[in-house]
Amino acid sequence: MNETLFGAPYDFRLAGDGLVQDGFEANLTALIEGAVAKNGNRTVTLIGHSMGGMVATYFLAGKPADWIERHVGGLMTISSPYGGSPLALQGSISGASIGLPIMVHAFLGIQDNSPSGPWLYPSQGLWNASVPMVRTRNKSYPPTAKGFADLLQDLGRREQSIILPRVRNMRGIDFDAEGGPSYPR
Amino acid sequence: MRFLPTCLAHTYPALSPADPPANQLPQIKRSFPNLRHVCFHGNKRNTPGQLTYPVDNFYEGDSPPSPLVTSYVDGDGIVDIKSLKACENVQGMNTEVIAIEGEEHVQILHSEELARQVLAFLVGDHDRQTH
């Protein structure tokens, strides 16, 4: 009793579907159900920072409404990139520290093939498709499906190329909907 | 409240490129039952909006090229403001967007204002039983 604060670390390399496959979602479900049971059936509040907010939202999108009603009273997201970020593109190209005290080039070896990279690419519905988001001396990459695909091809990121179209629309969450990302109704 | 959280045990296995195809993955479209959602974000920080790599291709040199930020937008220094505010698009939730003025993406976690708002939510508004 009196245990009211619980942590749920996830593998940040994975996108939402990968977190289902590696057992995170089942573990989080059990953690929440246990927390509710330990605390007199009080519902929990999920709190996620940055990508953690995306993970929490994706988690809830896979739960039946009555399960949420019985177990989750609220969601707090902090600094969550619901419309993606240009720095996710940088992560695929050259590594990005995203504000953390890490060596960027060492991090690149993790970021360049992680499914979470394309999951956090900028939402095509939020940005002007005619304005390049990434440029080299002789090529431009706009924030469009083709722009992202061209970029990954030029980087030789085969795994992320395969993953890209899949992670942009999962569980009814369409990251590239016109007007910005669209979540289930 | 305990301040050391009980954590899920979690391991970090090697990633496999052999993920199942999309049509074998759950594609669930459903509604959130008017869940209360508070979406905190920082702002008023120069945030990269466009990156320029001063190379002809990405494979020049021995190490990955470093980008020049050629366009900045409003945001928390890491994520642009449009993306941070896109939490409003989560339909079926009762979403309230709260800007913590001037805070940075990670440093916001040290913000007294954020702590105050979180505590107010947890203590003041979230005290119900369901079963």
Between residues 24 and 83 of chain B, which touch chain A (CB distance below 8 Å)?
25-33, 35-42, 48-58, 63-67, 70, 76-80, 82-83
**Residue located via tokens 């305990």:** B2
Are residues B6 and A3, on separate chains, in Cβ contact within 8 Å? yes
Name the residue of chain B whose CA is nearest to A76's CA: B38
Placement of tokens 């479900």 in the chain: A29
| pLDDT value, residue B30 | 52
pLDDT of residue B28: 35
Comparing CA positions, the residue from B116, B130, B131 lying closest to residue B38 is B116
Quickly list H helices, B4-98: 81-85
Mean per-residue pLDDT for A82-100? 83
Q: What is the pLDDT of residues B81-96, one digit of tens each?
A: 999 999 988 877 888 9
Per-residue DSSP letter, A94: T
> Which residues of chain A neighbour B122 with C-beta distances below 8 Å?
45
Q: Which of B39, B40, B37, B42 is nearest to B125 (CA)?
A: B37
- Would you call B47 helix, strand, or coil by DSSP? strand
Distant-in-sequence contacts of A134-137, Cβ < 8 A, 24+ apart: A134/A86, A134/A89, A134/A93, A134/B50, A134/B51, A134/B52, A134/B53, A134/B67, A135/B50, A135/B51, A135/B52, A135/B53, A135/B70, A136/B52, A136/B53, A136/B54, A136/B55, A136/B56, A136/B57, A136/B58, A137/B54, A137/B55, A137/B56
Instruction: Decide: B77 and B100 in contact? Cβ < 8 Å.
Output: no
Report whether A43 contacts A72 (CB < 8 A): yes
Would you say A82 and A55 are in contact if contact means Cβ atoms under 8 Å apart? no
Mean pLDDT of B65-90: 91
For residues B42 and B57, the model is more confident at B42
User: Is the pLDDT higher at A175 or at A36?
Assistant: A36
pLDDT above 90 (res B99): yes
What pLDDT shows up at residue B93? 81
Identify the pLDDT of residue A73. Answer: 93
* pLDDT on residue A101: 65
Answer whether residue A46 shows pLDDT above 80. Answer: yes
pLDDT of A1 strictly over 80: no
Is residue B1 predicted with pLDDT exceeding 50? no
Task: Give tens-digit pLDDT for A105-147.
Answer: 666 667 667 888 899 999 988 888 889 999 999 999 999 999 9
CB of B97 less than 8 A from some CB of A: no
Residue B4 has pLDDT above 80, yes or no: no
Task: Look at residue A97 in the predicted model and tell me its pLDDT.
Answer: 67
**According to the per-residue pLDDT averaged within each range, which of A45-59, B17-31, B56-70 is highest?**
A45-59
Q: Which residue has the higher pLDDT, A77 or B17?
A: A77
Q: Is the separation of the CB atoms in A90 and A96 below 8 Å? A: yes
- The radius of gyration of chain A from alpha carbons, rounded to an integer in Å, stands at 18
- Closest residue of A to B95, CA-based? A75
Shortest Cα distance, chain A CAs vs residue B123, angstroms:
11
Q: Answer yes or no: is pLDDT of A53 > 80.
A: yes
Q: Closest CB to B38: pick one of A13, A41, A76.
A: A76
Q: In angstroms, rounded to a whole number, what is the distance separating the alpha carbons of residues A144 and A142?
A: 6
Q: Report whether A55 contacts A119 (CB < 8 A).
A: no
CB contact under 8 A, A83 and B52: no
Domain regions of chain B by residue span: 33-124
pLDDT at A14 over 70: yes
